[in-house]
Amino acid sequence: MEVRAITYGGIIVSLRTPDRNGRLGDIVLGLDSLEAYLRGTPYFGAIIGRYGNRIARGRFTLDGRTYRLATNNGPNHLHGGARGFDKVVWAAEPLETASGVGVAFAYTSPDGEENYPGTLRVRVTYTLTDRDELVVDYHGTTDKATPVNLTQHSYFNLAGGGTRDILDHVLTIDADSFTPVDSTLIPTGVVAPVAGTPFDFRTRTAIGARIGRDDPQLKNGLGYDHNFVLNRSGAALVHAARVVESGSGRTLDVYTTEPGLQFYSGNFLDGSITGKAGYVYRHRYGFCLETQHFPDSPNQPLFPSTILRPGQEYRSRTVFAFAVERGPS
């Protein structure tokens, strides 16, 4: 395996894994140059913060004070605002541990950046292990109470190269429930069972099997763009999802300490982006599995809290484990 990342946005620009015949292929979408990333992307491969996902109407109230954020996604705030962590330059140092090698990224977000309170010091490490895992560790501290919800935003296509859609990838998500959204993709506050809906991925199901159904939630998301409430007890690392691509045999298992998983089926990819090696990224040519707290948590008192306070440490771990199935899936 090989992982490449850059300091701009902490972006994973390529991730090469073998297929069942040992041929390496790049399984993440991305661009060929820094200049292309600077022109803007749909968050390909980036570290997302301070707050991954959406905050309704770009506002929240904390300790009696209302904070107003950029509304950069219709009426809502998305992925940290106009200049989130995906658009800053991180300090980087190589690292080597008993389990593998990688890079440690660090960034200090000053008090008031994107109108978030508090100076937030963040460290994110990518470690490539000898077990063919990419381990992402997040750490943060603050001097004022602030919402924090960091995630990694790689678009995967296990067929390699971004040459076709991901609808025949077979997905399993370890979640009995999800958080339905309104027409602007803000959670309604309800935690709903997946049973009997197109959101039931508790058993192996092709991504495209039900994506075209006449379902209000699929219409709101233009496909899948929803937070799944992972089955867990306690804060330990748990299995969240598994993806299998039968043509190559590649598999991806995701483990996380987070309570939620945003599954996004590349609904807004439309052929307007030419990616690596000249490939055009068309509708649903990549999918994201963003481990996270729930969208709009600062405005949803029944959701797990995302507020980090002075003296506390933000810690989170996600493991992307890669392998191959030797026979037909």
Per residue in 90-116, pLDDT tens? 999 999 999 899 999 999 999 999 999
pLDDT tens digits, residue range 10-23? 999 999 999 999 99
With a cut of 50, say whether residue 186 has pLDDT above it.
yes
- Could you say which DSSP state residue 302 is in? T
What integer is the mean pLDDT of 72-86?
98
* Phi-psi region at 81: left, alpha or beta (left = phi > 0; alpha = psi -120 to 50): left
Q: Quote the pTM value.
A: 0.97
Catalytic residues: 153, 290
Q: What pLDDT is recorded for position 323? A: 98
With a cut of 60, say whether residue 329 has pLDDT above it.
no
What integer is the mean pLDDT of 230-252?
95
Range in 200-209, 246-255, 305-314, 320-329 the model is least confident about? 320-329
Burial class (CB in 10 A: 0-12, 13-18, 19+), 208: middle
Burial class (CB in 10 A: 0-12, 13-18, 19+), 321: middle
Mean pLDDT of the chain, nearest integer: 97
Minimal CA–CA distance to 107: which of 140, 152, 73? 140
Q: What pLDDT is recorded for position 328? A: 54
Give the other-Cβ count within 10 Å of 136's Cβ: 24
Tokens standing for residue 198 = 């197109």
What integer is the mean pLDDT of 294-316?
98
With a cut of 60, say whether residue 122 has pLDDT above it.
yes
Please provide residue 115's backbone torsions phi and psi, each rounded to the nearest 5 degrees: 70, 15
Rounded-to-integer distance, Cα 304 and Cα 308, Å: 12
pLDDT-above-70 percentage for the chain: 99
Rounded-to-integer distance, Cα 227 and Cα 293, Å: 9
Q: Are 180 and 295 in contact (CB under 8 A)?
A: no
Tokens standing for residue 4 = 């490449």
Half-sphere exposure of 127 (CA within 13 A, CB side): 19
Mapping DSSP to helix (H, G, I), strand (E, B) and coil, where does residue 278 land? helix
Tokens standing for residue 161 = 């190269």
